[in-house]
Structure formats: C-alpha cells, structure tokens
C-alpha cells in the first residue's frame, strides 16, 4: 500500500482578499505544489503566473529553479528579471513568498538544480569542503534575504552525467551540513530523487537521506519515454509483469524497504502526457512495452515541447478535437489517447 505517501501537484487558480487569512487542506497530508517559473512565458491560455496559484490546495509551494554558480560555488538566480524586483522585474520571489501573509499555513521553499543545471556543478562543489561551506553559507543568506522557508535540492544525478563515484558520499555530507546550518533558522530541507532502481542504488544512500531530510520528493513519472522507441505509460501505477520495476508501486516499495519514512516521502504526480508516434499506423491494439514507436513524439499546440502534451493541452484537445479516442491500460492502470499514429500517455 502507498496510500500514506503524499503528492506533488500543479495548481491553477489564485484567490486573495486583502487582510484575510485562509486555511489550507484539512486532510493532514503534505501537498507540495511545484511552480515552474518559466510557465509565465507560455502563450495564452497556458500562461501561468504566481497570481494563478491557489494556496488553499497546498501545504508547501516549491519555486523552480535557482542555479549554482560554477565559479563562486554559490546559489544564484537563473533569470534575474523573472525572479527579482529591481529594474522593473517580475518579482516572482517577492510575489510568491508574500502569499504567506494571507495563507500562513503555506511554506514556500526554493529548488536549486534541475536537469539543465546538470550534475557537474554539484559534483565539483561537493568535492571540496571550502566550496561546500561557501555554497551552504550563500544558501542560508539567500533564503533569509528573499523570505523563503527552506531549500529543495534537485541534483540530477550524483555519480552520473559527468559526476564522480564519490558523489554518493559527498551528497550525504552536503545534506548533513545543510541540515545543521538550517537548524538555527528553522529552514526546511528536501531533495528530489530519481525513480529508477539503477539510479537510486548508485546515487543515493537512502538511509542517511531519510535521517537528514525533512521531505523526500520522488519523481513519479517518465518511466517510459518516446526515445525508448516503445509505447509505454509515463506514470504507470503498476508493472506490466511481476518483474517490471518501471512503475510507481515498485519505486515506493523499494524506497520503503530502505527505511524511508512514509511521512517523509512525497510522490511526484505529472501534469503532462508523453507523446508517441507509432511506427506502424495499422496497429490495431496498443500493447504497452511492446508496440514500436518512432524515436520522437510530437508537441502540443501551446507548450511546443517535443514529446510532451500538457494536461491543460489535453483538456483543450478533448474539448475541441473529436478525433482522439480514450483508452485504458489495465496492467499499468493508466489512461492514454490515440489519434491514428499519435499516442498521448
């Protein structure tokens, strides 16, 4: 059973009344709303700004992403105009943390890293004590300056993508030192981890991470992607066979087997679909894990991201396009759409 694990959600609507205080969810779970800062650059109707957030849905809001300066080994803004207030900037930091005035139940944290920041910068910083200390000092000052309640680290991934074998141990040292530095401030410390056993076993010491992290975010999607050239569920809840490890159930059970506390574990839920183009358009029945696909999928009409359809794009397509047929894959417990050769999982 994985019912005690929490969820990472995307959020849509913001309502505020000056001087009023609103309460959060009553279910007692941790609900982390992950905000992609670059969503404000999307074309309408998919443009998404801080003012579109509904904080009543969330217990925590994470702002993604800050970066890591590879020369000074300090945390930095990846987009000054987007994040900051000066020079008539967008002031996302200020606007987001100001939510706490009317929604005091919400904790707002900053995520550093992400796929584009890579692994090498983190590996270099964590390899030398003085570099690590400089990073930690910059983080505490940064969080305090911009009124964040904590930090999420998305290092993709220790020991990989140009990293070093010692990254696994250095990551734990970094987390331990951050936790100790955060205690006087009461900052929250979380990390976003991979979902595959190969990466988890190579990159992470789960026992130690569970000891030092307040929350562990696990990516619950991208188990199957178009460049695998096989149609599959992006976020399968169950496996296609007893030996199938590429599914949410296996990932959660694997992490729990290392003593990760269910109260610390937060399951990431995707709000997009992965797209596939069938190699053979005459295939009648789609079989996840078997039906062949081209190496690239297709993009949605608004996000314009290859291999990806946003949840909101799917809703618009279903409303405006009768060509899509809805299907359900029983083994993985996931829905998918089909329009000829095109599949959205």
Bridge partners (DSSP) of residue 32 are 8, 60
Q: Find out if CATH 3.30.70 is the number for domain 275-344.
A: no
Beta-carbon neighbour count of residue 245 at 10 Å?
A: 15
- Residue 15: predicted pLDDT: 31
Mean per-residue pLDDT over the chain, rounded: 92
For residue range 48-68, list pLDDT tens digits in order. 999 999 999 999 999 999 999
Residue 113's φ and ψ, nearest 5 degrees, are: 120, -130
Q: Where are the domains of the chain?
A: 6-219+236-269, 275-344
- CA–CA distance, 186 with 181 (Å, rounded to integer): 9
CATH assignment, 6-219+236-269: 3.20.20.80
Q: How remote is the C-alpha of 312 from its chain's centroid?
A: 17
How many helices and strands, by DSSP H and E, does the chain display? 10, 14
pTM given for the model: 0.91
Residue 93's φ and ψ, nearest 5 degrees, are: -55, -50
Residue 256's φ and ψ, nearest 5 degrees, are: -65, -30
Q: At what angle do helices 167-182 and 129-145 cross, to 10 degrees?
A: 40
Q: What is the mean pLDDT of residues 170-188?
A: 98
């Amino acid at each position: 059973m994985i019912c005690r694990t929490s969820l990472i959600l995307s959020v849509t609507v913001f309502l505020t009344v000056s001087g009023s205080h609103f309460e959060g969810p009553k279910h007692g779970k941790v609900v982390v709303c992950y905000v992609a800062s670059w969503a404000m650059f999307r074309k309408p109707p998919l443009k998404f700004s801080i003012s579109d957030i509904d904080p009543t849905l969330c217990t925590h809001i994470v702002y993604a992403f800050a970066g890591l300066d590879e020369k000074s080994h300090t945390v930095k803004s990846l987009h000054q105009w987007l994040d900051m207030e000066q020079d008539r900037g967008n002031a996302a930091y200020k606007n987001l943390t100001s939510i706490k005035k009317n929604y005091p139940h919400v904790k707002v944290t900053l995520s550093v890293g992400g796929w584009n920041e890579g692994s090498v910068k983190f590996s270099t910083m964590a390899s030398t004590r003085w570099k690590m200390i400089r990073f930690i000092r910059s983080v505490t000052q940064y969080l305090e300056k911009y009124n964040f309640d904590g930090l999420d680290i998305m290092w993709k991934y220790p020991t990989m993508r140009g990293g070093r074998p010692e990254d696994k141990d250095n990551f734990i040292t970094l987390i331990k030192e951050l936790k100790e530095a955060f205690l006087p401030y009461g900052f929250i410390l979380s990390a976003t981890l991979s979902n595959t056993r190969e990466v988890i076993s190579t990159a992470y010491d789960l026992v130690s991470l569970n000891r030092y992290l307040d929350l562990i975010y696990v990516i619950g999607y991208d188990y199957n992607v178009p460049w695998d050239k096989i149609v599959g569920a992006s976020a399968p809840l169950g496996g296609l066979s007893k030996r199938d490890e590429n599914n949410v159930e296996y990932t959660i059970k694997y992490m729990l087997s290392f003593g990760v506390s269910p109260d610390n574990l937060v399951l990431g839920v995707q709000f997009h679909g992965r797209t596939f183009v069938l190699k053979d358009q005459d295939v009648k029945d789609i079989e996840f894990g078997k039906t062949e696909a081209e190496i690239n999928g297709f993009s949605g009409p608004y996000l314009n991201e290859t291999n990806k359809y946003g949840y909101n794009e799917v809703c618009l397509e279903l409303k405006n396009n009768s060509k899509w047929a809805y299907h359900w894959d029983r083994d993985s417990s996931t829905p998918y759409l089909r329009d000829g050769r095109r599949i959205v999982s």
